[in-house]
Amino acid sequence: MSKTYDFNDSTQLSPHFNVREFRCKCGKNHETLISDELIQKLEMLYDSLNCSKIIVTSGYRCEQHDKNVGGSGTGQHTLGNAADICCYGQDGQPISSKIVCCKAQDIGFSGIANITAAYIYTHVDVRPNSKWYGDEVHGNSTVTDDFYKYFGMDGTDNKERDKMNGMKGIDVSVHNGNIDWERVKKAGIQFAILRAGYGKLASQKDKKFEDNYAGAKAAGIPVGAYWYSYATRPDEAKQEAEVCVYILKGKQFEFPIFFDQEETKTLDTGKANCSAMVRAFCEVLEKNGYWVGLYTSRSMLSTHIEDDIKKRYALWVAEWGSKLNYGGAVGIWQYSEKGGVDGVSGNVDLDEAYVDYTTKVKKAGKNGYGKTEPPPTTAPDPKPDASVSVAVSIGKDTYKGTLVKT
Ligand SMILES: [Zn+2]
Ligand SMILES: [Zn+2]
């Protein structure tokens, strides 16, 4: 059963949800209907996904507003049973709607649907006595009874990522020899992370960095860079950062600059020191206008990296295989070191990106793109990533054409 709240009611319904978030967005100051069960299940979703926040883009809708956004005027939103949400992980990035749908299914929401082609927004509801699982991008009847099956995800491990969902990328260094970037582009590669260099000497610039940068750019492939660290102390990491900034100068990067921490003698110094080195490197890069992140393995992420870093910086996590067994959100997953891509001879590292860095970096004016807008805070952009065409304007709650009547 739904309860009725005055328009100006700001009751905190649960630890993470307030009445105000569920107000109808028609512009009239009328009452709000909210189901207790909806809030209870949203809290469960928040916990089980280890969210940093959940944004409700549409909660209660009056009949008129429901019709305005393409509904029948009698759907679950008009009963206070439904919410359209975006769930954010600990790194401040949206969690894929594929994962959210599966979790919502586990929790027992009776109505669940992916809303956008970017897999960022999810409709959930607690309709009584019936069930509806949908994917509003591909039509109503595409999902039958199981999101795990539908998205090809293994129900035994909710942390698994779906490799089909991300942008395809590679990361390369001098060890990959001469690369034919036009062929790489034709092979479907959508981004590349280039080794810029290693250690704390400018002479240790990667011998193919300039070639790779020029080649990828000419082929229209967005690039990021990484700096391979040998530091064992924060002051050394800082020195490495300064050299890195010097090497990167004058170039533009659509993807972040990553601190590559994997050397044994580095890792041997322990979690607190490794974390301090990451902060030291990242701080220098940020001061110089770079969108910065950490490259590490999934296991090192838990044993050698303190939590604040996972929320603060972009994460590029290596775990070779078909599963990334990491519960938090990551920006890029390196899933193979033995890939084959046309244009690169021999094995090449394969990656998948889940964040539209190109749009975010340019919007933030980072990485040589000049500041055009204030830099993002930890509050993420509530709109879908711009590289994926989504014909909805979530912010104002006008889903015209794509929203299914529920
Ligand atoms: Zn209304
Ligand atoms: Zn909805």
Which residues make up the environment of ion ligand 2, defined by Cβ < 5 Å? 82, 84, 123
> Do 350 and 334 form a contact (C-beta atoms < 8 A)?
yes
**What is the per-residue pLDDT for 140?**
66
Q: What is the pLDDT of residue 378?
A: 43
State the distance from the centre of ligand 1 to the C-alpha of 356, rounded, in angstroms. 33
Choose among 224, 265, 259: nearest CA to 239.
Answer: 259
Distance 35 CA to ligand 1 centre (A): 17
Say what the pLDDT of residue 371 is.
Answer: 59
Predicted local confidence at residue 153, as pLDDT: 65
- Residue 189 CA, chain-centre distance (Å), reads 19
Domain 2-161 in CATH 3.30.1380.10? The answer is: yes
AA letter at 367: N
Specify the pLDDT at position 105. Answer: 92
The 10s digit of each residue's pLDDT in 328-361 is 778 999 998 888 899 999 999 999 998 889 988 9
Residues of the chain with pLDDT under 50: 155-164, 372-406
Alpha-carbon dihedral sign for residues 375, 376, 382, 384 = positive
Q: How far is CA 138 from the centre of its chain?
A: 22
Per-residue confidence (pLDDT) for residue 366, from 0 to 100: 95
Contact between 107 and 99 under an 8 Å Cβ cutoff? The reply is no
Phi and psi (nearest 5°) for 248? -80, -20
Write down the domain spans for the chain.
Answer: 2-161, 167-353
CA of 112 to the centre of ligand 1 (A): 22
At position 397, the amino acid (one-letter code) is D
Rounded distance from Cα 147 to ligand 2 centre (Å)? 17
Interval 164-195: pLDDT, tens: 468 899 999 999 999 999 999 999 899 999 99
Q: Residue 371 is encoded by which pair of tokens? A: 């500041």
Q: What is the pLDDT of residue 401?
A: 36
Query: Class assignment of domain 167-353?
Result: alpha beta
pLDDT of residue 149: 79
Tell me what pLDDT residue 322 has.
Answer: 78
For the question of whether the overall pTM of this predicted structure is more than 0.85, the answer is: no
pLDDT averaged over every residue in the chain: 87
Q: How much distance in Å is there from the Cα of 6 to the middle of ligand 2? A: 22
Determine the distance separating the centroid of ligand 1 and the alpha carbon of 45, expressed in angstroms: 26
